[in-house]
Structure 1
C-alpha cells in the first residue's frame, strides 16, 4: 500500500516519492514551510520534522533553550544541591562557637574540678563496697555537703571547687605531729596552701578544723594548708 504525503495527505507513488524527516512527500510538496520554495535532499533543513530553507530555518534563542524541560530540571537540581551544601556547612560549623567558649581558662578549671569530684566519688564508692556498706567518714560527709551547695548556680557564676570552706587561719605545726598519706592529687588554690600527689606522705600534721589541716609534704618539703578529705591517717 502506497503511503500518504506529509503535506497534502494524498497517496505518494514510487516515481514521485521523497523519503525524508520520517515522512513521505511528493517532490513538489517537499517545500519550505514559510516561503514554499521547493527543496531537495541537499538544501533542506529540518526542524520538528518539517522542512525549511536556509533563510527561514527557525533561530533558537538562549531563552527558549533555557526554558526547556531538561534545563528547568537541571536548574531545580542545582538549587537543591546548593541547599544541601549549605545545610552540611551549617551542621559542620554549628558547634564551633560553643567549642571556643568551652576552651576558656574558666571552663578548663571547672572541667578539671569536675574530674576531681568524679575521682573522689569513685573512691568513696569503692571504699564503701570494700567495708561492706559502712557509712562514709564525717570528713566525706562534710565534703559532700559542701559540693552540693557549691554546684548550685548563683546568677550564673559559681565555683565548684572540691575543698571544704575554711573556718580558721593556718597554725604553725608542732614537732611530733601526726603522719598522713595523700589519697588524691591536690593543686594549691591559694598561697597558704600546699600541693601534693596521690601517695605523698604528709608530716607534722595539725588539725585546724573539721575540713582543713596544716602539714609538710615529705617529697617536696613544702608546708601549708591542705583539705582533710584528701588524706588519710597512717
Structure 2
C-alpha cells in the first residue's frame, strides 16, 4: 500500500516519492515551511521533522537562568571546587622547574649575546673595584687576615681581558630562480605537430608570445616540460609559450 504525503496527506506513488525526516513526501510538497521554496536532499535542513531552507532554519536561543538561592549555592560550590583542584595541581607541580625551551639557532644567538654582555660587565666591575682602592670583588676570594698588605703584588692581579661580541654572520640574499630566455630555438622538434590553445595567455616577457583560446600554433619546438617555442598562425608572431596552455591536434 502506498504511503501518504507528510504535507497534503495524499497518496504518494513511487515515481514521485521522497523519503526524508521519517516521512514520505511528494517532490512538490517537500518545501520550506516558511517560504514554500522547493527543496531537495542536498539543501534542506530538518527541525522537529519539518523541512526548512537555510535562510529560514529556526535558530535556538538560550534562556536566562534566574539567580535563585539554589543556583547561587551551586555556583559557589563549583567555584570552591575549582579552587581546591587548582591548589592540588599547584602542590603537585611545585618544585618541578620550568619547561625546557627548544635550542633553536635564534635562542643560541641570544644566549651567546647575553654571555658576552655578562662577561663585559664583570670585567668592568672588577676594573672599578681595582682602581678604587683594592675593594674586594664579590666574585674574587679575599686574602686571609694574617697576610700583610705589603705582600700584595700588583703584578699578580688577573689580567684585564676585553671580550667583544662575535659579529653577526652575513646572510646572503636568497636568489629566486630566473627562467633563462632562449636565444635561439632549441634543436628538439615536435615533428611537425600542430597545437591548439585551450586558454588565453598574455606574454609576460619580450621573448614570449600572446594568444587566445582556439588559436593554432605551428612550428612548435619543445624546450622543456613547461615551455615551448612556436608561431601563432593567426598573428604570425613567434616566441615562447607555456606548454600547459595548449594541446596537440
Q: What TM-score comes out, normalization by structure 1 length?
A: 0.29
* Higher relative contact order structure (alpha carbons within 8 Å, sequence separation ≥ 6): 1
Q: What TM-score comes out, normalization by structure 2 length?
A: 0.27
Whose radius of gyration is greater, 1 or 2? 1
Higher helix share: 1
